[in-house]
Amino acid sequence: MTQQGLIFDLDGTLVDSLPGIAASLNRALASLELPPHSLRAVRGFIGNGARVLAARAAPERADESLVAAIEQAFKADYDLTWPQGTAAYPGVAGLLTALQSRGIPLAVLSNKPHGFTTAMVSALFPALRFAAVLGQRPGIPHKPDPAGAMEIATLLGLPPQACVVIGDSTMDIETARRAGMQAVAVSWGYHDHDALVATSPDAISDSPEALLGLLDSLCAAGPQP
């Protein structure tokens, strides 16, 4: 099997963290005497990091100081409570274990703050060995900027074209395109299926079981020109 690296998004791809994020965000808003948001609304807020989450949750025309206060309150609460309302999607641990057994390097690239990203991966997938786990870090542009994906390719010792980005959002597909990597979308996450189709990923998978077969085929085929 041709050596390739697989770079997974976290929220909405490997883990369902929406209930925990929504609960923590609403507690943060309540602490500032601001109105809460529904689970459906918060689903549309996530994916671009904690600062954007706070900005989207803030009242219309909120100033930067209020957005910063929401972000700080959210992070403080989430740091203590994220294990509640956060779980790996059914079948994902088996998918990753099977890929690891094949000797395929695995990595995670998330727009979630780096500390939360590493803690979550360690707690939810303790038996797995990831070659790299990167979250949002100060001074490093987040997805869809390709910097993180390119950094992971370097850590894996692979050219970009030998890597596949797997995620549930159009942002993940754009990241892959900008990095010169293959792009695989998953339909079980937080983002609109029609929007995913419109980005023309190399493939779309509807379940972890189907994704295993798809990734086996991509890795067997090798890097695409």
Residue positions annotated with a catalytic role: 9
Q: List CB contacts of 93: < 8 A, sequence separation 6 or more.
A: 124, 125, 127, 128
List alpha helices for 102-140, DSSP H.
Answer: 114-124
Distance CA 131, CA 108 (A): 9
Phi then psi dihedrals of residue 51, to 5 deg: -65, -45
Nearest alpha-carbon partner for 91 in 81, 99, 82? 99
Cα 54 to the chain's mean position, in Å?
A: 18
3-state class (DSSP) for residue 170? helix
Cβ neighbours around 144 below 10 Å, total: 20
* Neighbour-count burial for 80-95, b at 16+ CB within 10 Å, e otherwise: eebeeebebbeebbeb
Amino acid in position 200: S
Conformational region of residue 94, where left means phi above 0, alpha means psi within -120 to 50, and beta covers everything else: alpha
Which strands make up the sheet holding 163-167, listed edge to edge?
132-136, 106-113, 5-8, 163-167, 182-186, 203-205
